Structure 1
Amino acid sequence: MHARPYNFYAGPAVLPQEVLEQAQSEMNNYGATGLSLMEISHRSPIYDAIHNETQLLFKELLQLPDEYHVLFLPGGASLQFSMIPMNFLTPGKVANYILSGLWAEKAIEEACKVGDVYVSFSGKANNFTKMPSLQDIQVHTQMDAYLHITSNETVNGTQLHHFPVIQDVPLIADMSSDILSRPFDISKFAVIYAGAQKNLGPAGVTIVILREEALPQHTTSLPAMLDYRTYIKHNSLYNTPPVYPIYMVNLVLKWIKHSGGLNIMEKRNEEKARLIYDAIDQSGGFYKGLAHPASRSLMNITFKIWNDELEKRFIQEASTQQLVGLEGHRSVGHIRASVYNALPYKACQALAEFMKEFQKRYS
């Protein structure tokens, strides 16, 4: 039996074992200061070095051009659902949203409180089992303030595998659950935001990667803490930042870098996901994937068993084998395995083997 449970929770989610061990070793005495980092001023040179290095690591891993800022904000992706339209949706314009699932729906609800919203694609009729094709994504240059997409929907287990190229309309993406899981062309985007607690670190900090020139001129003043320019001007140090979560993100970024970068992350994630999808597809219908094959996520794998009682038994028996966090989202139910960057290959191997063994016993 392995020492720790294999963690398939969707978020807060698995962290690299090496990162946890380093954080543990530095908890009470960071950098020979005799103090925990949580006790050290965010204005100190010690924290300043962590803060700036974390930004540089993002820039390196994503190959960010100089015009992009890396910002650290509170409030999770949920606050960004409001901040995006507050900063980008100007009078006379419409916010264009792709309704791809629960999280896109929440973003739309908040944008509607700020201004006019247009939903140019909706997957609701298909129960959000399929992402739009690039041909389905439409923009209106004269009307749209921006186009908002959700790159990965954790609830239904769907993922956009290609991003649109848009001229003259800022492209904004919620990448909370698949950021740094694969390489992509950052130049397509005006803004990317991500809550840390799925693929970057613990809950408590949100990463916003923003091209400043994409910000429109404000016609009304925003509260300082809701204005992206505040964070740009003060290097995300206008108020006390979430020091410890940023430190943890720093360690995770170093782990990704030392592991080989985003190309290696993508290769590993494809291999991990394939183990579980193969167990589904080769089960003769015992297991059935919830997402359309062309939209399957490499981060969140959703499936069901033909019998509801067997699903409950599956989750219970899996937990006895230290395979935890497999309950589907409360709005959908069924089974979900979240296989983020930090989840080791052997965890997915163990789950696939358990799935096959469970099928033999209950077919």
Structure 2
Amino acid sequence: MTKRAYNFNPGPAALPLEVLQQAQEQFVEYNGIGMSLMEISHRSKEYEAINAQTQELLLELLGLKSGYKVLFMGGGASTQFATIPLNFLKPGKVGSYIITGSFSEKAYEEGKVVGEAVIAASNKEGKWRSLPKAEDIQIDPNSAYVHMTTNNTIEGSQFSYIPETGDIPLIGDMTSGILSRPLDASKYAMIYAGAQKNLGPAGVTVAVIRDDLLAEEPKHLPVMLRYSTHAKNSSLYNTPPVHSIYMVNLMLNWVKNNGGVAEMEKRNVEKSKLVYDVIDASGGFYNGNIDPDSRSIMNITFRLPSEELEKKFVKESEQNNFVGLAGHRSVGGIRASAYNPVPYEACKALAEFMVDFQKRNG
């Protein structure tokens, strides 16, 4: 077999080799039914079993025993930015947004399109370097919900606490951090995530919504835009992305069989520390984009002394079997996305490459 790349892509991102091999074994014919999963009906008993088990697995790994529904939806997390206020932002109420990066800012802008949206906290003036402290978050008591992005994929920051919102529903975009560390998911009224980082391939978006939020059906909305539609029909109202959901199932089983979310956090802390230690010991050659107390264990971002050196770093990294280390086009620099499936060996190799690169170019 060809040598696997050190895949630091931000999404679609790395998948565990054993998951890919498992899917490969079942690709042409699933469980002896004479067809691929790509071909079977989403109403078949085989797919309905996958659909139900995947929902149960996710709730189990999140530690949510009851009171929540798992929905499989299309359109990525970006579509959720609009779907959330369409469903929950009633006239006379405001949507409150904690703005900590590009994607939470986009969610806020979509909220303003639908209704009235306000900023509960923002760290934009500080160029996203550190996250707001809990005491700096000012929540309008007339809020329909509070929206936050728990891990900022582009900037490389991650919340270490869950804001207290009282009776106001808290909604978390966990696209790039879901299942990377244990958290009290019951503090969230809704969690959502595009699958293409920690949950599987692109093509499906997961939404986990508390039952009380689903109780009211917003009949002013088209049927497909109502969360209640998908909840009532167990995400089978229309044809779902069957194969993508199957891959999510395999990924959730992989997490469970590899020690669960607590073990994921242990591995992720160890992996990210390898790279952060090189940054911190480089004497400023590598300059982290985020203050240490706000750093993400998923997306490690940093700059070099010049854009010319950054381009050289990326070019040489590609020649050394690394993939996906260029920073987001909107900010530049370097970004290593070390999601759950990225192995320790990849981060170790990156750290060694960084030390060598500095010796030759520092």
Question: Which band: TM-score by shorter chain?
Answer: over 0.9
Shift in Å, 1:165 = 2.4
Contact 1:152 1:159 in 2 (8 A): yes
1:9-63: per-residue Cα shift (whole Å, max 9, x none)?
Answer: 1000001111011111111011011211000000000101110110111111111
Q: How does 1:1-363 map to 2 (within 5 A)?
A: 3-141=3-141, 143-215=142-214, 217=216, 220-363=219-362
Q: Which range moved further: 122-131 or 97-106?
A: 122-131
Shift in Å, 1:108 = 1.0
Structure 2 unaligned spans of 5+ = none
Shift in Å, 1:140 = 2.7
3-state SS of 1:30 partner: coil
CA distance in 2, matches of 1:31, 1:87: 39
For residue 207 of structure 1, what is the amino acid of its counterpart? V
3-state SS of 1:148 partner: strand
3-state SS of 1:247 partner: helix
Contact 1:87 1:216 in 2 (8 A): no
CA distance in 1, matches of 2:26, 2:217: 44
3-state SS of 2:270 partner: helix
Shift in Å, 1:217 = 3.7
Cα gap change, 1:20 to 1:139, in 2 (>3 Å): same
3-state SS of 1:38 partner: coil
1:51-91: per-residue Cα shift (whole Å, max 9, x none)?
Answer: 01101111111111311001101110011001100111001
3-state SS of 1:35 partner: coil
3-state SS of 1:12 partner: coil
Shift in Å, 1:161 = 1.2
Contact 2:82 2:110 in 1 (8 A): yes
CA distance in 2, matches of 1:41, 1:63: 31
CA distance in 2, matches of 1:306, 1:25: 47
Contact 1:298 1:339 in 2 (8 A): yes
3-state SS of 2:38 partner: helix
3-state SS of 1:113 partner: helix
CA distance in 1, matches of 2:7, 2:354: 16
Structure 1 unaligned spans of 5+ = none
1:165-193: per-residue Cα shift (whole Å, max 9, x none)?
Answer: 22110000100000010111011110000
3-state SS of 1:235 partner: coil
Cα gap change, 1:240 to 1:327, in 2 (>3 Å): same
CA distance in 1, matches of 2:128, 2:158: 11
Cα gap change, 1:80 to 1:293, in 2 (>3 Å): same
CA distance in 2, matches of 1:138, 1:235: 36
For residue 24 of structure 2, what is the amino acid of its counterpart? Q
Contact 1:193 1:207 in 2 (8 A): yes
Shift in Å, 1:215 = 4.4
Cα gap change, 1:133 to 1:287, in 2 (>3 Å): same
For residue 149 of structure 1, what is the amino acid of its counterpart? M
Shift in Å, 1:122 = 1.4
Shift in Å, 1:273 = 0.3
For residue 172 of structure 1, what is the amino acid of its counterpart? I
CA distance in 2, matches of 1:157, 1:214: 31
Q: Which range moved further: 130-139 or 67-76?
A: 130-139
Cα gap change, 1:215 to 1:145, in 2 (>3 Å): farther
3-state SS of 1:301 partner: strand
Aligned length: 362
Compute the TM-score of the two structures, normalised by the length of structure 2. Answer: 0.98
